[in-house]
Amino acid sequence: MNNENDIIVGLDIGTTKIACFIGKRADNDKIKIIGFGKTPSKGVERGVVKNIKDTAASIEKAVNMASEQAGIAVKEVYVGIAGQHIKSIQNMGTVVIPPEHKYIEQEDVDRLIDQQHNIMLNPGEDIIHIFPQNYVVDGEELSPDVEPVGVAGRQLKSNFHIVTGNTMNLINIHDSVERAGLTIKGVVLEPIASAYAVLDNTDRTAGVALVDIGGGTTDIAIFHEGVIRHTTVLPLAGNAITTDIKEGCKILREQAETLKTRFGSCLPQNVSENDIISIPGLRTQPPREISMRTLAGIIKARTETILEQVDYEIKKSHLEKHIFAGIVLTGGGAQLRHIKDLTEFTTGIDTRIGLPDEHLDKDTDPEIINTMYATGIGLVLYGFRELDEMRRHNEEFNDNNTDEETTEPEETTASENDVFAELPEQQPEIETSKEVEKEEPKPENKKKSNTGKKTRPNFGTQFMKYIDQYFGRVFGDDTIRNEGQEEHEL
């Protein structure tokens, strides 16, 4: 059951801005943004945190603005991540269904997904997301609308789309947020967050390519049959266009940014040759006159380069013939005039501009319904989805636990392996179970004691453990290292 007092906070750490959004449920079950704060981003370059101190100061300022507007204190946030270090790989996993299971159960699916954390990665990389692409039971592929749980079979396979990121960049984000006095609730790839804000289930099912053109990076996420199939981050975006205008017109960067946002166009042929813009000169220099058609030519050249790379990534995914919902442009770069037309001309795919109003309450401030805020609003929507998913699993667990108490009440304490074993009401039973285990005279059997369902921690928990293990290796903490290795073997 949804609680109207639920609060979720999204923090978009971008190259040009840091924005904080505080959302709550409206009466119609949509989301209302009750707090918003934005400040220029310092210490971030192409989506990567470079200066932790400066970034933390910008985060704190944006969060304080949103917190003051909403009238609540912010403690936990969902954070977006992007940058050129983001990579994706494909991997296949297989598990054998134990004989005591008459059909595939959720713990079997969890075990299959958990396997992916053991794949070989390049040094200094960590897993951010794991997306199952399909499920195969005993050699027969299930259709996208059939869940594997409940299907009879002896072997379960799946292809996975795995998103990875640079470990030190993840640590820098964590340190920046922590320095600002906050805790990370979850880390989300930015194009995935933006997809929650501007796409619906019909788009994802039909096939759609989301293109988020930000300040430092252009993020791409391709969906088909309701599943995310391809993700990538390009190191070119709006700042590259601004730099070209600055160099081409020999003006200040602030002036170039103003020209781009106020007068910029992607199609020179749509601009009159007689339109001239006068730019104040520096110190004693006379004003500089710039033709709007010349300006549009500079913008088109760079934007076309970005869109050609977008087209290449779509073709690389081999899904160009399955994108029936076309391309959806969002992010600050989507505000350029005629960019929709240039995208269709470059890629040959139908295109629309995606505003983050798909799931927002009608009373939301119109200023927020802007393509540049798609990621921040998407982080809030992602947080509510996670909250609903947790409650759904919690209800299923409570129902199953009630049934077990009715038939075998003496076994109700064996819940330490359940995904909700860490909830407060279960703690006494967990501690009692662990104390009994410690009294066993055979410590060598410790690894064999967890024969039930394996808990699959969320990314935040895994990430914090990874940080502990990382610094343990750096400083030679054998205790931390050994614990990490032992957990890896489970």
Residue 138 covered by a domain: no
pTM of the entire structure? 0.77
Of the pLDDT bands very low, low, confident and very high (cuts 50, 70, 90), residue 288 is: confident
Residue 299 covered by a domain: yes
* Average pLDDT of span 221-244: 94
Q: Given this model, what pLDDT does residue 382 score? A: 94
Q: Given this model, what pLDDT does residue 441 score? A: 47
Nearest to 196 by CA among 210, 216, 213: 210
The residues, any chain, with a CB within 8 Å of residue 86's CB and separated by 6 or more, are 128, 163, 164, 165, 189, 231, 232, 233
Domains held by the chain: number: 1
Q: Given this model, what pLDDT does residue 435 score? A: 42
Q: Given this model, what pLDDT does residue 392 score? A: 78
Residue 162 covered by a domain: no
Residue 163 covered by a domain: no
Q: Given this model, what pLDDT does residue 197 score? A: 94
Answer positive or negative: Cα dihedral of 321, 326, 332, 336: positive
Q: Given this model, what pLDDT does residue 71 score? A: 94
Residue 93: pLDDT over 90: yes
Nearest to 196 by CA among 31, 351, 321: 31
Residue 246: pLDDT over 50: yes
Give the chain's mean pLDDT. 83
170-192: per-residue pLDDT in tens?
999 999 999 999 999 999 999 99
On the CB side of 91, CA atoms within 13 Å amount to 21
Task: Provide φ and ψ at 19, rounded to 5°.
Answer: -125, 140
Query: What are the C-alpha distances in Å from 209 to residues 128, 228, 230, 311, 428?
Result: 21, 10, 9, 10, 48
Q: Given this model, what pLDDT does residue 366 score? A: 87
* Average pLDDT of span 325-340: 95
User: What is d(CA 367, CA 354) in angstroms, rounded to the nearest whole number?
Assistant: 15
Residue 106 covered by a domain: no
Residue where the block lists tokens 């024969």: 451
User: What is d(CA 420, CA 415) in angstroms, rounded to the nearest whole number?
Assistant: 8
The residues, any chain, with a CB within 8 Å of residue 288's CB and separated by 6 or more, are 249, 250, 251, 278, 279, 280, 281
Residue 66: pLDDT over 60: yes
* Average pLDDT of span 226-245: 93
Range picked from 27-31, 118-122, 335-339 for highest mean pLDDT? 335-339
User: What is d(CA 216, CA 190) in angstroms, rounded to the nearest whole number?
Assistant: 12
In which domain, by residue range, is 226 found?
Answer: 206-231+244-357
Provide the CATH number for the domain around residue 339.
Answer: 3.30.420.40
431-488: per-residue pLDDT in tens?
434 443 444 444 444 444 444 444 455 555 555 555 555 545 444 444 444 444 444 3
Q: Given this model, what pLDDT does residue 281 score? A: 79
The answer to whether 22 and 91 have CB atoms below 8 angstroms apart is: no
* pLDDT, greater one: 483 or 332: 332
Other beta carbons within 10 Å of 124: 12
Residue 257 covered by a domain: yes
Residue 302 covered by a domain: yes
Residue 37 covered by a domain: no
